[in-house]
Amino acid sequence: MTKKRRLEREATITSTPNVKSSSFADVLEKLKHESGDSQSEGGAKEWPRPAPPTLDDSRDPIFFQQIDVEDAYGYGSSPTLRMFGITECPRHVTDFLPYFYVPVPRGFYPSDLDALKELINSTLDSPDGLRNVQILPKRSLWGYRGDAKPVFLKLTISDPKTLPKVRGLFERGELHFRDLFPEPITTYESNIPFILRFMVDTKVVGMNWIEVPGGKYTLRQASRKVSTCQIELDQNSSLRILSFDIECAGRKGIFPEPEKDPVIQIANMVTRQGDSQPFIRNVFTLNTCSHIVGSQVLEHEKEADMLVDPDVIIGYNISGFDLPYLLDRAKALRVDSKFAFLGRLKGIKTQTKDAHFSSKAYGQRDTKETIMEGRIQLDVLQYMQREQKLRSYTLNAVCAHFLGEQKEDLQNGTPESRRRLAVYCLKVAWMRILPQRLMDKLMCLVNYTEMARVTGVPFNYLLSKGQQIKVISQLFRKANSDDYLVPSYKGDGTDDQYEGATVIEPKKGYYDVPIATLDFSSLYPSIMMAHNLCYTTLLDIETIKRMELVKDVDYVQTPNNDYFATVSRRKGLLPTVLEDLLSARKRAKADLKKETDPFKRAVLDGRQLALKISANSVYGFTGATIGRLPCLAISSSVTAYGREMIEKTKQEVEAEYCIANGREHDAEVIYGDTDSVMVKFGSRDLETVMALGAEAADLVTTKFVKPIKLEFEKVYFPYLLISKKRYAGLYWTKPSHYDKMDTKGIETVRRDNCRLVQTVIETCLHKMLIERDVGGAEEYVKQTISDLLQNKIDMSQLVITKALSKTDYAGKQAHVELAERMKTRDAGSAPSLGDRVAYVIVKGMKGAAAYEKSEDPLYVLENNVPIDTKYYLENQLSKPLLRIFEPILGEHNANSLLSGDHTRSIQIATPTVGGLMKFAVKTVTCLGCKTPLTLKNSRGPNAAVCDNCRPRLGELYQKQLALASTTQVSFSRLWTQCQRCQGSLHQDVLCTSKDCPIFYMRKKSQKDANDSIKVLDRFQNESW
Amino acid sequence: MVLPAAGSRILSKRLPPLACSPLPKPNNNLPSGVVDSFILSGETTKSYSHQFANIYFARLTMLKPVVLKAAETKWKDHRFTLPNIGKPVSISRVLDVVKSQLCYVVGTIYMDMPLKPNVLVDIGKEHWIVAPPSRPKFNSPQDTVLLEDESGRIKLVGEPLMRLRLVTGVIMAVLGVETSAGEFQVVDACFAGMAPQGVTSLRSSYSELEVDQDGSWVAFISGLDISSSDVQPGMDDALDMRLQLLVEYLKGETGGPQDQSFSAQCSALIVLGNSLDIPRKSQDDLKNSKRYNSQTTWDPAPLRRFTRSLQELARSVTVHILPGSTDPAPSTLPQQPMPKAMFGFEGFPESQVFMSETNPVWLDIGAWGVLATSGQTLDDIFKYVDSTDRMAMACDTLLWRHIAPTCPDTLWCYPFFDRDPFVLSHSPSVYAIGNQPSFESELMRGPLGEMTRVVLVPKFSETGQVVIVNTTSLAVQTIRFHATQGWA
């Protein structure tokens, strides 16, 4: 005890006034405080939210951040919308009815309105289906026909479900009203989702703040009309984010089925947005796998969800797996009546439905949709698939990419590992923060929130729908305020392709001089603004003739031979939308520069990004032929202008910057694509080129209509131009230091390539561009090829992965064949449907097809199966290597990389399985000269060397020692790293993450270490 | 001619009386199993098929009861009892810690250090496997301390932790409370304390021996660093000369009569590693060679020079030689004996007085044995603690009852399956750590009268110092050899 006291005294002396010295008395004090708190583990006391303040519905305005809007049925006869916000309780909006417009035919008089209404209602067989018909002066969005406003019929319908029926009457021409609608006619604004309709009309955007003035609502009952104020607050309220993950007790080799396999664990994590540490952590586990206990666990889950009441639910692949699984499981256990209420509304069952997602930008994907009223779902997997291009989308790969960490992977585990999951939940729970951290790292939530605000769509739309909905939302908003009506276009999915962007033929090569890049900033939006391209300004020849418009005064003819009215006649809608977006972006960027608070900065950055994306997607919207409102006249005119401008830029630059014009060098445009041109000014000095680039950009800008602006952004130096859309270079924005290495189209992340390709290409580019050492890059390639041929390349570099998506492939495929073979070896560890199969190509019999030569990398390691190095050299490495070396070395010299001295030394592993090996006898050979050792020529059959090599014993011992030390150290380093990664020293490492770069290495090091020790032992039998 | 005057020596005031040098014979003081605990034998031990978790498990199993007992004794005091909470409760597993309850729990320390070399990061670079540590220290303010056992781990916070020089792998008891944030607020910590010395405590005989300056002396030397002659010829000659002086000194051929009488009493020379400094060609060097084929250069000269000295020495004293980090031996701990034949001792008549040992090694010399290491254990601890007091760290290892806690996390070792040989079940009489920057010595005393002489042995190549310890009185002295400058 004396020692203890002494230590304390020291502490008080050394501690500064700021640092609280934690003497025992202090801790005692703290303990009292702690013990006064509830005894709950993992912050359970913080589950319930603070009670909402009581409100007087006649006076108090309600402020809340709206997070979700949805339509609901079953509240009386009128359709109801619910808005969910952070101040709790869904808001019900009634008195809002769907409607659409049809043009008023000639011969229709206001007196006909009632008759029309009756006719429609009787056709529908519902007396109140069509509520109201009005005649309003509106104009169509499509085309310019002067400023007159023709009249339209506004048909207000009682129920969103009835709307398509009414619309159908018009569109199919089935309405026989005094033959006024003899043939199918276009309806207007009839295909907008009801929720969006509401949001557009009330000017509510996603995730914004809403004020409901006192007197305009009644508490807990259907409110009156919601009036909104669109305060653009630069902050979010603290959203509660629940991150969760489930683990199922799978049976050997079978993907878990909710009907049979219980959920053994659910890990939850709740964070307030902006905090780095979760304030609630809890895990529900199931120790015995009986069904009765299973139901208890599920009840827990329900309880947790309800208590925590998160606003946002995140996870990895939750919408594809976790949520549907939980629901199905509940159904299988017949507890769904208790469990399946994950939404915020009482009495509404949560259900899952299959959804098919198809978008030109994101590809097609089958997903499952689970509707949770009043909660935002953000599946990080979906986010990744949309926003990031990666080699693999497993959580491990994603984490390794963005967080620089590996995640332990226990898939395909033995029953042992499953047991461990259940028992050592603390650690696993810790791991579950990963999606959360990923989300923070990538700012998904913030960016998406801003996107919802900018484009005015509900948050959930961003992940579940494509790009178009965002443009539609903005288009409707703008159109409505200007009395335009958006026609309901029936997409017929024509494959009309129009000419895309132009590419100036690249002058391939390796440029060791600075190459300036001139970019048109927001090219397509600015073209649309500059030339007033819009639906509303679209003209046709007849109109021009009828209205006697004058070319270049009243209208312009685009290079694509379409006609658009000029601003003097009418300002287009799209240009207005774009102007708003771009000026908002400018503002956001300016604010960003001033802002210091990191959270606000993140919000602003998210906003400017959202604005940029929105601006660019407007062009895409007009060009999407299967879209809602394609207008190829606009999109192809835009690209045509773009082509013209690139060409013109090239001419201007080359005309101005030439020796004939008193310049030092002739400038040369070596490449141009879509919105940028690469100019070689000739000077070798970085600063000079930067000055020239800026000057040229300003010069060319003056030649174009405003707001088109050519900007000088960066210099590539050196620059490797391979072909169209394929180049690499060192990116400079300031002369002092380069910013980064930039590569385009050098596809190293393709999954059917092995990692070796990626490594080699990246290293080569690094050596060429950053170290400016082309010779070094060549040498590196030769060394790598030599290593490959000598079997020295790490297995993880050679592994190719493919998903086993279905069993009956038509053609034989390598990974399918392997999966079959693995099943016969050990059904338990064999990959099952949905798994990614990892394989390497091994030497097969002569003439064996490639698919027969696939093999499990672990099996290869264990049995020393020789790798088919020729396959890797010719099918994997050669093409990408030649591609980047050809511009530098020329075709002939580039080929010499693949053959020559370095390819002579070959080492082939001696397999322990297959073929002849059954008959082979192993003999110990001399470590010096490989002579088989016998009693006659050495000190016995387990000696190290033969008698002839004995003088070299020291050298050979040294060599073996170095080898043994290397393998032992790598064994230690690799396995301790895995221990650190799994977060436990006392448990064996069970991870089977095939994406981890050290997975195979660590297995190999184990084998190598064992082998090297045995060899070393042989020296004990020697004399020196 | 080598001038004896050129070699000066520092001896204690009182010189040991003349006596016949007794040949060392096993005195069987060490518990059975301790002496050869670092020998790896048999297929099962030498296998790399196991993982490292087993070592940690064995370590915890061996030390947990001890630490728990120490903690019980320490914290039964009433000052640790709280009025409305009561006495601290012992919790058996880390995972069972209950929030807001004053308790103590035993577990393995894990230091989460952002600067710790990470193979995943290194792998991205090209030269990774034998990447030399790029910095002398890896600790940073971002380090966090975690306590774990087989059930899970918990984050430790609190000021007492700052005062402790903790490294990964130490078994420790902590007293404190789990906070609402899920962290463990530490009030006090407790280690195992010094291990006992022998079953029958020989206190009486100790005090007798303290008076009696009789007994034999052991000499410790480390870091001879005999390198290839082509590296630095001048330096080498000086080193060679000092080595020659040492040999002659130990043989009693040089120095005054007092020195000669001492050398007669010196029964053993223990060489604590780094005898040879053979530059190891790394794999990367080999890779960079144009020949695409691995070749090593082997210079037998340093080994031959060393062998010559050894053979001469072995005629008068027993020589124990430990491999060190630069010696030709596998680098993972425990380093196995270098082949005896390598030093030309095969068939040599004095082969019983030349012992090629493991590193670390228990030698059955003195009352409770000598525990010697070539210094990697301490060097590794040094890298991860916020302190430069090497002696304090060495003493810590005795209190932890573990001489190499950073094995296997950052110090590479064999993946032992069922035991942890680095656990001290027993405190040695002499604990010598080689290849340290300077000589330091301290006598550690345990609560039951245990005594251990802790010696940091400096590098001979840099200081010319040899440390001698009396195995009975535990007195310690250094002798410095140096050659006159400019003499070559």
Is the pLDDT assigned to residue A373 strictly greater than 50?
A: yes
Task: Tell me the pLDDT tens digit for each residue of A194-215.
Answer: 767 777 766 666 555 555 554 4
Closest-CA distance, B69 to chain A, in angstroms, reads 15
Task: Tell me the pLDDT tens digit for each residue of B17-27.
Answer: 333 333 344 44
Query: CA-to-CA distance for B310 and B358, rounded, in angstroms?
Result: 17
Whose tokens are 């490292």? That residue is: B52
Is the pLDDT assigned to residue B231 strictly greater than 60?
A: no
Whose tokens are 């207007």? That residue is: A188
Query: CA-to-CA distance for A583 and A607, rounded, in angstroms?
Result: 12
Residue A1012's Cβ-count burial label (10 Å; 0-12, 13-18, 19+) is buried
A664 — pLDDT class (breaks 50, 70, 90) = confident
Query: CA-to-CA distance for B426 and B398, rounded, in angstroms?
Result: 10
Give contacts of B119 with chain A, Cβ < 8 Å: 973-974, 977, 998
Closest-CA distance, B347 to chain A, in angstroms, reads 10
B2 — pLDDT class (breaks 50, 70, 90) = very low
Sheet with A376-379, edge to edge strand ranges: A280-285, A263-272, A240-248, A312-315, A376-379
Closest-CA distance, B34 to chain A, in angstroms, reads 23
Q: What's the residue count for chain A?
A: 1024
Secondary structure class of A684 (helix, strand, coil) = coil
Q: What secondary structure, in 3-state letters, does A94-125 show?
A: CCCCCEEEEECCCCCCHHHHHHHHHHHHHHHC
CB spacing of A39 vs B98 below 8 angstroms? yes
In this prediction, residue A90 carries a pLDDT of 47
Closest CA to B298 of A786, A1014, A928, A1017: A928
Q: How far is CA A768 from CA A274, A738, A882, A893, in A?
A: 42, 14, 14, 16
A282 — pLDDT class (breaks 50, 70, 90) = low
Find the closest chain B residue to A972 by CA distance: B412
Is the pLDDT assigned to residue B255 strictly greater than 60?
A: yes
B294–A contact, CB cutoff 8 A:
yes
Query: CA-to-CA distance for B357 and A428, rounded, in angstroms?
Result: 44
In this prediction, residue A324 carries a pLDDT of 67
Alpha-helical segments (H) within A840-903 = 857-863, 869-871, 878-895
A43 — pLDDT class (breaks 50, 70, 90) = very low
When mean pLDDT is compared across A113-117, A642-646, B49-53, B238-242, the lowest value belongs to B238-242
In this prediction, residue B210 carries a pLDDT of 42
pLDDT-above-70 percentage for chain A: 56
DSSP state at residue A213: -
Mutation for A interface: B111, B119, B161, most A CBs within 10 A: B119
Mean pLDDT of A378-398: 64
Sign of CA dihedral A383, A385, A390, A393: positive
Query: CA-to-CA distance for A716 and A744, rounded, in angstroms?
Result: 13
Task: Tell me the pLDDT tens digit for each residue of A822-867.
Answer: 777 766 666 666 667 788 888 877 677 777 788 888 888 878 788 8
Question: Which has the higher per-residue pLDDT, B247 or A281?
Answer: B247
Give contacts of A993 with chain B, Cβ < 8 Å: none
In this prediction, residue B433 carries a pLDDT of 92
Find the closest chain A residue to B293 by CA distance: A905
Query: CA-to-CA distance for A132 and A158, rounded, in angstroms?
Result: 9
Structure tokens that stand for A185 in this block: 């006619």
Helix (H) or strand (E) holding A955: helix A953-982
Closest CA to B405 of B151, B46, B72, B59: B59
Is the pLDDT assigned to residue B469 strictly greater than 50?
A: yes
- Residue pair A186/A431 in contact by the 8 Å Cβ criterion: no
Secondary structure class of B240 (helix, strand, coil) = helix
Query: CA-to-CA distance for B245 and A959, rounded, in angstroms?
Result: 33
Q: What secondary structure, in 3-state letters, does A227-243 show?
A: CCCCECCCCCCCCEEEE
List, in sequence order, every residue forming a beta bridge with A903; answer none if it has no partner: none
Is the pLDDT assigned to residue B11 strictly greater than 60?
A: no
Closest CA to A242 of A285, A279, A291, A201: A279
Mutation for A interface: B332, B346, B376, B384, most A CBs within 10 A: B332
Is the pLDDT assigned to residue B348 strictly greater than 60?
A: no
When mean pLDDT is compared across A5-9, A749-753, B275-279, the lowest value belongs to A5-9
DSSP state at residue B303: H
Q: How far is CA A574 from CA A355, A475, A579, B218, B242, in A?
A: 31, 8, 8, 94, 91
Is the pLDDT assigned to residue A388 strictly greater than 80?
A: no
Is the pLDDT assigned to residue A262 strictly greater than 80?
A: no
The most confident of the ranges A135-149, A816-830, B415-429 is B415-429
B8–A contact, CB cutoff 8 A:
no
A965–B contact, CB cutoff 8 A:
yes
Query: CA-to-CA distance for B217 and A712, rounded, in angstroms?
Result: 81
Structure tokens that stand for B443 in this block: 């006598």
Secondary structure class of A256 (helix, strand, coil) = coil
Question: Which has the higher per-residue pLDDT, A333 or A598?
Answer: A598
Residue type, A750: R
CB spacing of A974 vs B119 below 8 angstroms? yes
Instruction: Please provide the DSSP assignment of A518-558 as one string.
Output: EEETTHHHHHHHHTT--GGGEE-HHHHHHHTPPBTTTEEE-
Give contacts of B95 with chain A, Cβ < 8 Å: 426
Bridging pattern class, strands B370-373 and B430-436: parallel
Mean pLDDT of A140-157: 74
List, in sequence order, every residue forming a beta bridge with A925; answer none if it has no partner: A932
Cβ-nearest to A1010 among B49, B123, B185: B49
Whose tokens are 């070959």? That residue is: A906
In this prediction, residue B79 carries a pLDDT of 66
Closest CA to A629 of A769, A509, A511, A489: A489
Find the closest chain A residue to B59 by CA distance: A986
The most confident of the ranges A191-200, A470-479, B338-347 is A470-479
Find the closest chain A residue to B129 by CA distance: A970
Rg (CA), chain A: 35
Query: CA-to-CA distance for A173 and B152, rounded, in angstroms?
Result: 72
> Whole-prediction pTM value?
0.67
CB spacing of B281 vs A962 below 8 angstroms? yes
When mean pLDDT is compared across A100-109, A764-773, A808-817, B209-218, the lowest value belongs to B209-218
pLDDT-above-90 percentage for chain A: 0
Instruction: Please provide the DSSP assignment of A366-435 as one string.
Output: EEEEE--TT-EEEEHHHHHHHH---S--SHHHHHHHHTS------TT--HHHHHHHHH-HHHHHHHTHHH
In this prediction, residue B455 carries a pLDDT of 92
When mean pLDDT is compared across A703-717, A949-963, B399-413, the lowest value belongs to A949-963
Query: CA-to-CA distance for A418 and A429, rounded, in angstroms?
Result: 14
Q: Chain B, 406-445: which have a CB under 8 Å from a chain A CB?
A: 408-410, 412-413, 415
Structure tokens that stand for A863 in this block: 């049995």
Question: Which has the higher per-residue pLDDT, B10 or A300?
Answer: A300
Bridging pattern class, strands A80-85 and A62-72: antiparallel
- Residue pair A63/A211 in contact by the 8 Å Cβ criterion: yes
Residues 6+ apart with CB under 8 A from B199: B31
Rg (CA), chain B: 24
B279–A contact, CB cutoff 8 A:
no
A977–B contact, CB cutoff 8 A:
yes
B149–A contact, CB cutoff 8 A:
yes
Cβ-nearest to A985 among B119, B148, B298: B148
Find the closest chain B residue to A28 by CA distance: B82
Give contacts of B129 with chain A, Cβ < 8 Å: 966, 969-970, 973
Is the pLDDT assigned to residue A2 strictly greater than 60?
A: no
- Residue pair A23/A11 in contact by the 8 Å Cβ criterion: yes
B462 CB neighbour count, 10 Å cutoff: 12
A21 — pLDDT class (breaks 50, 70, 90) = very low
Is the pLDDT assigned to residue A7 strictly greater than 60?
A: no
DSSP state at residue A733: S
In this prediction, residue A489 carries a pLDDT of 67
- Residue pair B85/A35 in contact by the 8 Å Cβ criterion: yes
Question: Which has the higher per-residue pLDDT, A396 or A187?
Answer: A187
In this prediction, residue A807 carries a pLDDT of 56
Secondary structure class of A780 (helix, strand, coil) = helix
The most confident of the ranges A491-505, A668-682, B1-15, B36-50 is A668-682
3-state helix, strand, coil in chain A (%, to 5): 45, 15, 40
In this prediction, residue A683 carries a pLDDT of 81
A9 — pLDDT class (breaks 50, 70, 90) = very low
Residues 6+ apart with CB under 8 A from A602: A443, A446
Give contacts of B278 with chain A, Cβ < 8 Å: 958
Mean pLDDT of A541-555: 78
Query: CA-to-CA distance for A126 and B43, rounded, in angstroms?
Result: 88
Task: Tell me the pLDDT tens digit for each residue of A310-358.
Answer: 566 666 666 666 666 666 666 666 555 555 455 554 444 555 555 555 5
Question: Which has the higher per-residue pLDDT, A395 or A645?
Answer: A645
Task: Tell me the pLDDT tens digit for each residue of A930-975.
Answer: 777 777 777 766 777 777 777 777 777 877 888 888 888 888 888 8
User: Residue A857: left (phi > 0), alpha (psi -120 to 50), or beta?
Assistant: alpha
In this prediction, residue A263 carries a pLDDT of 59
Query: CA-to-CA distance for B480 and B10, rounded, in angstroms?
Result: 6
In this prediction, residue B12 carries a pLDDT of 32
Whose tokens are 């015995």? That residue is: A288
Mean pLDDT of A164-173: 75
Closest CA to A664 of A633, A692, A704: A692
Question: Which has the higher per-residue pLDDT, A234 or B445?
Answer: B445
Q: Chain B, 29-68: which have a CB under 8 Å from a chain A CB?
A: 46-49, 51-53, 56-57, 60
Question: Which has the higher per-residue pLDDT, A480 or B278?
Answer: A480
In this prediction, residue B373 carries a pLDDT of 92
Question: Which has the higher per-residue pLDDT, B488 or A176?
Answer: A176
Mean pLDDT of A142-156: 74
Mean pLDDT of A175-190: 71
Closest-CA distance, B325 to chain A, in angstroms, reads 11
In this prediction, residue B450 carries a pLDDT of 83
In this prediction, residue A47 carries a pLDDT of 41
From first CA to last CA, the distance across chain B in angstroms is: 10
Structure tokens that stand for B22 in this block: 């007794």
Task: Tell me the pLDDT tens digit for each residue of A237-252.
Answer: 455 666 666 655 554 4
Cβ-nearest to B296 among A962, A1022, A1024: A962
Is the pLDDT assigned to residue A582 strictly greater than 80?
A: yes
Residue type, A914: G
Residues 6+ apart with CB under 8 A from B409: A976, A979, A980, A985, B110, B168, B169
Query: CA-to-CA distance for A121 and A845, rounded, in angstroms?
Result: 77
A737 CB neighbour count, 10 Å cutoff: 7
In this prediction, residue A65 carries a pLDDT of 57
Query: CA-to-CA distance for B456 and B401, rounded, in angstroms?
Result: 18
Task: Tell me the pLDDT tens digit for each residue of B127-145.
Answer: 334 445 567 788 888 888 8
